[in-house]
Structure 1
């Protein structure tokens, strides 16, 4: 299995507390996900993030095909980082670390995703032709939305 990684770093003009409040609420994920993804939370307990929390979604990453996606929040260090991992969904592996560090005039937010695709050789071709570009597009959209929410003040 080939494991890929994607890292992004963004400055957020906010306090750690403001960042944490926004990003630790699963309900806000839809606000920073492109509409083209057809992202919809179908089940979660409505609580702020905690280790062991299960969140269920529907996503349409390609060709409008709706797929279930179930993630578990596996680690949380309040105000510092959290990790979500796919339990069921389109990837063979999805491990997403979200870090929040104090920085001059705000917060340095770092995302590090490790992912793998099913279907061996076909999955590697799909990553090259489609998936890595789609992830780039999703994270660029997220950066734009975070800028609108926090950095346009």
Structure 2
């Protein structure tokens, strides 16, 4: 199963980074290019443990819906979201926050698998892994930009 690991250094306190990572409003803003918006469950604010959100977005010219749930959380150290319904066979996203000097190291561990067996695995390796890495990088840069504002 493909796994992405991204580390982002942010010059802001861990608690601030943790909360910005749970902000549905910031997520929506960072994914405007894909017309991503919350359409079900928790719609705005900070998503919490046990809460769900259904996203609608456009990727590869196709409209998608995906429902994710926060399945684990220990504030301000980590939280996990997992896809309940959507385009993937598996989607599991761990968000970790470690104090690093006066700032924070934010680590994403993002595991996914496309449906359709062998064809899905080929799609994952040929381009989906790179595409998802770019989406996570865009999201993390948005968190970093807001977190580092004075």
RMSD across aligned C-alpha pairs, in angstroms?
A: 1.8
Deviation of 1:23 (Å): 1.6
Q: What is the CA-CA distance between 1:47 and the residue it aligns to?
A: 5.6
Q: 1:60 and 2:58 equivalent? A: yes
Q: Which runs of 5+ in 1 are unaligned?
A: none
Moved over 4 A (4+): none
CA contact (8 A) 1:90 1:117 kept: yes
Tell me, yes or no, if structure 1 residue 43 matches structure 2 residue 56.
Answer: no
Alignment of 1:24 onto 2:25: no
1:75 corresponds to 2:95: no
Residue 8 of structure 1 corresponds to: 6
Whole-Å Cα distance in 2 between the matches of residues 140 and 21 of structure 1? Answer: 18
> Displacement, 1:152?
6.4
TM-score, normalising length: structure 2: 0.89
Q: Which residue of 1 aligns with 2:85?
A: 88
Give the TM-score, by structure 1 length: 0.87
